[in-house]
């Protein structure tokens, strides 16, 4: 976009480009550019843009059904899923700054004339045409597009959970449940699962597929074992938590405990020193992580985590 043609109001509503780089569990480096949604928060109510996500109860029930019926199961995700969805007639701008302007212009030389300097930094304004990660409505735009495709292919969204879709194929139920771009597909016949994956790839090329008895889905390690049983674990997630905790806190987690909660767990010392803002955020982050683990298989944490959750608003050193 030519910045000289943009009004002050347009620039106020412009979203900042954020570039994220992280190391995945497999060791690969993953990069993503997304938008800082905060300016949209002022004029786009979140209740008008929230997207459904699969309920934990639905997911656990489906894992048991897949195990009991000995279905063939495939886990897959759609790369760049949001970018398949158009944002329609909405006018949204993204502001790119610094060295990423040079990268954009190297790929698109026609952008050079529109580069400007603001506060000593190179800036480039571009119009967003697709549901970029970070925009408030992106998840809902992707959900709408994806469910339209599923319904077109004969799947029926369930009333109890709008992220679970079923279709009867060869007299047996085929189930596809999803959380954003992460999907779990199952049917008793392997050929049916293969065929559905081919159909999905026809709409969204390049899905990353995982097959077999041992699978990873939404941070959970899933293993289908004999006698129609399934085991769910979060060991790798916990290991990642420990490593991150030790790195950020500088403390080694090398003690052994007989119980997740000591007898003084719920004793609150009103004179305990409160945490500063940085450590309070650190506390809240890891309580949320342990809560996630507890809900997915470690119910022995429940009493401890429930109490720690009540302390998130004003944690102290004891917490």
Asked if the model's pLDDT at residue 102 lies above 80, the reply is yes
Predicted local distance difference test score (pLDDT) of residue 137: 87
pLDDT over 80 at 71, yes or no: yes
Q: What is the pTM of this model?
A: 0.83
Write the CA distances from 120 to 35, 97, 117, 238, integer angstroms.
Answer: 22, 10, 6, 43
Residue 42 has pLDDT above 90, yes or no: no
The tens digit of pLDDT for each residue in 218-234 reads: 989 999 998 899 999 99
What are the residue boundaries of the structural domains of the chain, listed by start? Answer: 3-36+93-127, 56-81+136-212, 235-310
CA distances 219 to 140, 154, 232, 238, 242, Å, are: 22, 29, 10, 10, 15
pLDDT in tens, 275-315: 999 999 999 999 999 999 999 888 888 999 999 999 999 99
At 285 the pLDDT is: 95
Report whether pLDDT(46) > 70: no
Q: What percent of the chain shows pLDDT beyond 70?
A: 97
- pLDDT of amino acid 11: 87
CATH fold, domain 56-81+136-212, is: TATA-Binding Protein (3.30.310)
Say if residue 129's pLDDT is above 80. yes
Q: Is the pLDDT of residue 269 over 70?
A: yes
* CA–CA distances in Å: residue 241 to residues 33, 49, 69, 114, 246: 24, 31, 34, 44, 9
**Model pLDDT for residues 148-167, shown as the tens digit of each residue:** 999 999 999 999 999 999 99
């Amino acid at each position: 976009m030519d910045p000289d043609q943009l009004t002050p109001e347009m620039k106020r509503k412009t979203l900042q480009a954020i570039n994220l780089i992280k190391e995945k569990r497999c060791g690969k480096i993953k990069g993503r550019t997304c938008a800082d949604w905060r300016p949209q928060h002022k004029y786009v109510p979140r209740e008008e843009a929230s997207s459904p996500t699969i309920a934990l109860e639905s997911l656990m029930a489906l894992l048991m059904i897949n195990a009991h019926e000995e279905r063939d199961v495939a886990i897959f995700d759609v790369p760049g899923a949001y970018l398949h969805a158009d944002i329609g007639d909405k006018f949204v701008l993204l502001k790119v700054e610094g060295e990423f302007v040079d990268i954009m212009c190297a790929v698109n030389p026609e952008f050079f004339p529109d580069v400007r300097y603001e506060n000593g930094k190179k800036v480039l304004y571009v119009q967003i045409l697709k549901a970029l990660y970070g925009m408030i409505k992106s998840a809902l735009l992707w959900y709408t597009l994806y469910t339209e495709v599923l319904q077109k292919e004969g799947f029926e969204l369930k009333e109890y959970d709008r992220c679970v879709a079923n279709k009867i194929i060869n007299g047996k139920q085929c189930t596809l449940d999803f959380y954003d771009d992460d999907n779990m597909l199952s049917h008793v016949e392997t050929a049916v699962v293969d065929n559905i994956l081919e159909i999905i790839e026809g709409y969204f090329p390049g899905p990353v597929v995982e097959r077999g008895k041992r699978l990873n889905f939404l941070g959970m390690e899933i293993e289908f074992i004999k006698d129609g049983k399934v085991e769910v674990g979060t060991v790798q997630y916990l290991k990642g938590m420990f490593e991150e905790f030790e790195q950020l806190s500088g403390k080694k987690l090398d003690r052994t405990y007989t119980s997740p909660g000591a007898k003084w767990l719920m004793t609150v010392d009103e004179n305990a020193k409160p945490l500063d803002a940085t450590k309070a955020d650190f506390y809240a982050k890891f309580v949320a992580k342990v809560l996630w683990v507890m809900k997915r298989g470690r119910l022995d944490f429940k009493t401890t985590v429930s109490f720690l959750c009540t302390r998130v608003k004003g944690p102290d050193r004891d917490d």
